Amino acid sequence: MSELLIKNGFVFDPLQGIKGDRMDIGVKDGRIVEAGALANPKTIDAAGMTVMAGGVDIHSHVVGPKVNVGRLFRPEDKLFKSPLKRCNRMEMGFSVPSTFKTGYDYARMGYVFVNEAAMPPLHSPHVHEEIRDTPIIDNAAMPVFGNNWFTLEYLKNNEIENNAAYTAWLLRATRGFGIKVVNPGGSEAWGWGLNCEHIHDPVPYFDIAPAEIVKGLIETNEYLGLPHSVHLHCNNLGNPGNYTDTLDSLRLAEGYAPKNEFGREQVMHVTHLQFHAYGGDSWKNVESRTKEIMDYVNAHDNITVDMGQVTLDETTTMTADGPFEHHLRAGNNLKWANVDVELETAAGVVPYVYSPKIKASTVQWAVGLEIALMSKDLMRTFLTTDHPNAGPFTRYPRVITWLMSRAARDATMKTFKWLDRTIESTSIDGIDRELGLYEIAQMTRAGPAKALGVSNIYGGLAPGMDADVAVYALDPESMPSDPAEIEKVFGRCAWLVKDGVVTVRDGEVVAEPAKRTVWVDVKVPENAQVQRDIYEHFLRHYSVKLDNYSLFEEHLHNPRVIEVDTTQ
């Protein structure tokens, strides 16, 4: 394989603590190497440019059944909103792009790894079919556990070992990556049209509360020592006054310490925190409670969070939080799709318009930014839009711009119809903080890679790691005075090297190196009880046969397996 030398760029690599030093990055056989180790490399001149590892997205809905419902039932998301073809395949859609557009657009932004936020286990063959058709970027997918009948039964009886054995089995069956929890208990309650809004509301029939589910899953996760922690979407998402429930959920991690061999330091990742940090008791008097939430997060090292930043676009909401989507459709009265999945989970999809003319939207916008701007540790606070829920991932460059520039925030706020009331209800106007490139690198690669437990492969530029390098035409020594320029630069990287292959040049995709499916294979001792439970549920309650449920090897594409052995 060819050698590459990325010369003279300003390198930002938080995993190694490199803060904009002028350095050369060597690439050989798909790996990062010492620049001196190259014999006869091709050179990329990165002088006057910013060099970072390929981006890592910890939470994005890009592949799977609910994403595809969003595509299917919104033809209007394509009309006049799709760019003309300029790669191998057409690129359709805006808020829920086609798989091809997803891969190409992430690559153009300099991203190389995207973690699908919620995989219904029963639908795993579908998820893997879409992964096959998503070019360039490596994907992992997290199966959902928070409403799974096996999990609920084991945790009710405090059988962590059994739950761990089941978890290991399901990760292998679905070729999944980690433990996702969405509205624990609430989506099962939705099977009867009900919900669990607070962490102590009992789940109908199963007689367990969300708090016990979350704690049990943290214990399971650390018992197994998985690369990633429990990845939690809290109860009572998106409702004014929910910050107290969020604080209750955050406190569930107290007393737990991470146990793993992957460099992960948190026991709980709380996702799209923006949707969970509201005060007030209605959308009329909704207010930001980011300060209370971030004070807690800042003081507790065993928690990581991501933003879920509202981008003020027309988008498509989709979540395994079935009751929430039903609630949302009652709010905006738009079309509503719902899929309850037997024994496992639920999902809903509703289009949504976040507008600078609507106070709820602009308050949400402010709350999201406050999360990052109030964070004391950006290695624990990650940039997401909960794509496509708060906005499409293609707006990350704009979010970066808001974070890096007070002027950019002011310019956006000038478009708000309810500016005064937004300022009154939030702290955004009192925050002058502007993040630097090092902090952006923390939020978009180093931090997420570490939290996912893959920081030995992704998110950094140390020798031995995957040769995933993004070069942005941005000179840290003379940053552009116009914030719009920053957005442009992060939207179309100057170069992306993926697996040592020049993939993007001047913002255009020039190659499609083979993408990977990253999954976690956990070895656990034989567990006859769990085997029997699995057999029984498939015999009586599933609508598919056990032997047809686990993903067939032929439907797993270019796997990269991370092995965990608990039997040692």
Partner 1 sequence: MPKKVENVGCPYCGVCCDDLVVTVSDDGKKILEVENACAIGNQIFHHATGGERIRLPRLRQPDGSYKEISYDEAVDYAAKVLHNAKKPLIYGFGSTNCEGMAAAAKVAEKAGAVLDNCASICHGSSFLAIFDNGYPSCTLGETKNRADVIVYWGANPAHAHPRHMSRYSIFPRGFFTGKGHKSRKIIVIDPRHTDTAQVADIYLQVKQGHDYELFDAFRAVVRGHEIPDVVAGIKREQILEVANILKKARFGTIFYGMGLCHSDGRNHNVDIAISLTRDLNDFTKWTIMAMRGHYNITGPGAVWSWQYGYPYCLDLTKRDIAHMNPGETSSVDLAMRDEVDAFFNVGTDAGAHFPIDAVKHLKKHPWITVDPNICMASEISDLHIPVGIVGVEVPGIVYRMDNVPIQYRKVIDPPEGVISDEELFERIHKRLCELEAEEAAKGQVKAAPEGVRAESEP
Which residues on adjacent β-strands are paired with residue 519?
561
By CB under 8 A, name the one of 8, 82, 302, 355 that touches partner 1. Answer: 82
Query: From the CB of 517, what's the least distance to partner 1, in Å?
Result: 15
Q: How far is the CB of 69 from partner 1 (least distance, A)?
A: 7
- Provide the minimum distance between the beta carbon of 509 and partner 1 in the complex, in angstroms, as a whole number: 15
Tokens linked to 225:
């020592």
* Segment interacting with partner 1, rule: CB under 8 A, options 153-161, 215-223, 258-266, 328-336: 328-336
545 near partner 1 (CB under 8 A): yes
Question: Could you write out the DSSP letters of every residue in 101-146?
Answer: HHHHHHHHTTEEEEEEEEE-GGGHHHHHHHHHTS-SSEEEEEEB-T
Euclidean distance between CA atoms 187 and 312, whole angstroms: 27
Question: Strand 42-45 relative to strand 3-13: parallel, antiparallel, unpaired?
Answer: parallel
Q: Counting contacts by CB under 8 A, is residue 136 touching partner 1?
A: no
Q: To which H or E segment does residue 361 belong?
A: helix 359-373
Applying CB under 8 A, the site for partner 1 has a residue count of: 70
Show the tokens assigned to 226.
């998985």
Looking at residues 442 to 481 of the shown chain, list those that interact with partner 1 (rule: CB under 8 A). none
Task: Tell me the per-residue interface mask from 197 to 216 with partner 1, x by CB under 8 A, - otherwise.
Answer: --------x-----------
Note whether 527 binds partner 1 by CB under 8 A: no
**Chain centroid to CA 92:** 22
Collapse the DSSP code of 499 into the 3-class scheme (helix H, G, I; strand E, B; otherwise coil) and give the result: coil
Q: Binding of partner 1 at residue 3 (CB under 8 A)?
A: no
Whether 182 contacts 319, CB under 8 Å: yes
CB of 84 to partner 1, least distance (A): 4
Choices 27-35, 195-203, 343-351, 426-434; region in contact with partner 1 by CB under 8 A: 343-351
CB of 422 to partner 1, least distance (A): 25
For 62, 372, 407, 415, the CA distances from 420, given in Å and listed in that order, are 36, 22, 17, 12
- The span of 363-371, 395-403, 416-424, 549-557 binding partner 1 (CB under 8 A) equals 549-557
Instruction: Report residue 564 CA to chain centroid gap.
Output: 22
What size, in residues, is the chain? 568
From 30, 48, 83, 436, residue interacting with partner 1 (rule: CB under 8 A): 83
Whether 336 and 350 have beta carbons less than 8 Å apart is answered as yes
Asked if residue 355 binds partner 1 (CB under 8 A), the reply is no
Q: According to CB under 8 A, which one of 133, 159, 434, 521 is a site residue for partner 1?
A: 133
What is the torsional sign of CA 250, 307, 50, 446?
Answer: positive
Least distance in angstroms from the C-beta of 459 to partner 1: 27
Contacting partner 1 (CB under 8 A), which of 19, 22, 31, 78?
Answer: 78
Can residue 130 be called a binding residue for partner 1 (CB under 8 A)? Answer: yes
| Helix 243-251 with 290-299: angle, nearest 10 deg | 10
User: How far is 16 from 448, CA to CA, in rounded Å?
Assistant: 15
d(Cα 419, Cα 498) in Å, to the nearest integer? 43
Among 49, 122, 214, 293, binds partner 1 (CB under 8 A): 122
Q: Provide the 10 A C-beta neighbour count for residue 85.
A: 11
Q: What is the enclosing helix (H) or strand (E) of 329?
A: helix 322-332
From the list 284-292, 338-346, 424-432, 444-452, the region that binds partner 1 by CB under 8 A is 338-346
If the CB atoms of residues 283 and 538 are measured against partner 1, the closer one turns out to be: 538
Residue 229: alpha-carbon gap to chain centroid: 13
Tell me the three state secondary structure of residue 280: coil
Distance in Å, CB of 534 to partner 1, minimum:
15
**Residue 197 DSSP SS3:** coil
Q: Of residues 48, 73, 283, 429, which one binds partner 1 by CB under 8 A?
A: 73
Tell which positions 142-161 bind partner 1, by CB under 8 A.
149
Please answer whether residues 114 and 62 qualify as being in contact, where contact means their C-beta atoms are separated by less than 8 angstroms: yes
The residue range among 3-11, 424-432, 473-481, 548-556 that interacts with partner 1, by the rule CB under 8 A, is 548-556
Distance CA 459, CA 561 (A): 18
DSSP sequence for 198-246? STTSPPTTT---HHHHHHHHHHHHHHHT-SS-EEEE-SSTT-TTTHHHH
Nearest approach, Cβ of residue 100 and partner 1 (Å): 7
Q: Which of 283, 296, 336, 418 binds partner 1 (CB under 8 A)?
A: 336
CB within 8 A of 527, min separation 6: which ones?
A: 161, 162, 165
The piece of 123-131, 252-260, 380-388, 434-442 that touches partner 1 (CB under 8 A) is 123-131
Output 84 or 299, the one with its CB closest to partner 1: 84
Q: Which residue lies nearer to partner 1 by CB, 125 or 476?
A: 125
**Separation of CA 554 from chain center:** 27
342 belongs to the binding site for partner 1 (CB under 8 A): yes
Regarding 563 and contact with partner 1 (CB under 8 A), the answer is no
> Would you count residue 47 as binding partner 1 (CB under 8 A)?
no
Rounded Cα gap, residues 163 and 159, in angstroms: 6
* Non-local CB neighbours of 482 within 8 Å, separated by 6+ positions: none
Stretch touching partner 1 by CB under 8 A, among 68-76, 166-174, 176-184, 243-251: 68-76
Residues within window 94-113 making contact with partner 1, judged by CB under 8 A: 94, 96-100
| One of 11, 51, 182, 349 touching partner 1 (CB under 8 A) | 349
CB closer to partner 1, 3 vs 133: 133
Q: By the criterion CB under 8 A, which residues form the site for partner 1?
A: 63, 65, 67-69, 71-75, 77-78, 80-86, 89-90, 92-94, 96-100, 122-126, 129-130, 133, 149, 190-193, 205, 326, 329-330, 334-343, 349-350, 540-545, 547-548, 551-552, 554-555
